[in-house]
Amino acid sequence: METSEIQENPVISKIEEKDVTSAVAVAGHPLHAMTVHFPIALVFITLAIDVLYWWTGDQFWLRSGVWSSGGAFLMGVAAGLVGTVELLSVAGIRERVASWAHAIAAMMLIAIAGLNWGLRVTDSIDIVPHGLLVSTLAAVVTGMAGWHGGKLIFDHGIGLMVSPKD
Ligand code: HEM
């Protein structure tokens, strides 16, 4: 079929007309994109800390893991709150399936990060192997959530604040 003969899907065209500009931004920079780096980094740092504890047996890594897993959870909640405002308040974001796929993966990640911290703070888990397994799961789900988040920007142009100058 010739490109000119391909019919536009009316439902998709209607969604494409809707606004996708970030609602929570500082000087044109979306706050969600600025905050997500912290939970992503801290989830992977927690996994690295668990591997170092497994390798060395040094108690220092046990204490470090409590702090990094707590930081991952709390920063994940903070990023998630901003993301939720974007999701619910911007029509073009709310009506895209990809946004909800990202939100579901992100909420799973926040729940796993909370579990990881809770088990450590209450001292109710053996880091090797159980803490290490929870950290590995958190890292995998973070990869999924982050990848879907990136798709929102790069495939759907969500959150971009392009001025007439650009
Ligand atoms: C309930 C939780 C969340 C919701 C509803 C949500 C929603 C969104 C939305 C609407 C965007 C598009 C950009 C924008 O409007 O600012 C986005 C981007 C993104 N999100 Fe989330 N998000 C949530 C949590 C998270 C978490 C915890 C992470 C960390 C893994 C994350 C990682 C990302 C990434 C990496 C991007 C792309 C940002 C960029 O490349 O600049 N999100 N998210």
Terminal C-alpha separation, the chain: 35
Ligand 1 proximity of 150 Cβ (cutoff 6 Å): yes
Question: Is 26 among the domain residues?
Answer: no
Mean pLDDT over 137-148 rounds to: 98
* DSSP E strand stretches across 21-125: 25-26, 29-30
In whole angstroms, what is the distance from residue 62 CA to residue 23 CA?
40
Total domains in the chain come to 1
The pLDDT tens digits for 98-134 are: 999 999 999 999 999 999 999 999 998 999 999 999 9
Which residue range is the domain that position 124 belongs to? Answer: 33-154
Angle at 57 between CA 54 and CA 58, to 5 degrees: 125
Helix (H) or strand (E) holding 130: none
Ligand 1 proximity of 75 Cβ (cutoff 6 Å): no
pLDDT for 5 beyond 80: no
Nearest CA to ligand 1 atom 4: 83
Question: Is 129 among the domain residues?
Answer: yes
Question: Is 162 among the domain residues?
Answer: no
- Whole-number percent of the chain with pLDDT over 70: 93
Nearest CA to ligand 1 atom 15: 159
Question: Is 75 among the domain residues?
Answer: yes
User: In terms of residues, how long is the chain?
Assistant: 166
pLDDT for 79 beyond 90: yes
**pLDDT grade, residue 10 (50/70/90)?**
confident
Query: What confidence score (pLDDT) does residue 72 get?
Result: 98
What is the Å distance from ligand 1's center to 164 Cα? 25
Question: Is 165 among the domain residues?
Answer: no
Question: Is 1 among the domain residues?
Answer: no
Higher pLDDT, 73 or 7: 73
Ligand 1 proximity of 22 Cβ (cutoff 6 Å): yes
Mean pLDDT score of the chain: 92
pLDDT for 86 beyond 70: yes
Q: What does each C-alpha distance from 137 to 42, 44, 95, 108 come to in angstroms?
A: 14, 11, 29, 10
Higher pLDDT, 14 or 59: 59
Query: What confidence score (pLDDT) does residue 11 get?
Result: 79
Ligand 1 proximity of 149 Cβ (cutoff 6 Å): yes
What is the Å distance from ligand 1's center to 61 Cα? 29
pTM score, whole prediction = 0.90
Ligand 1 proximity of 153 Cβ (cutoff 6 Å): yes
Nearest CA to ligand 1 atom 8: 83
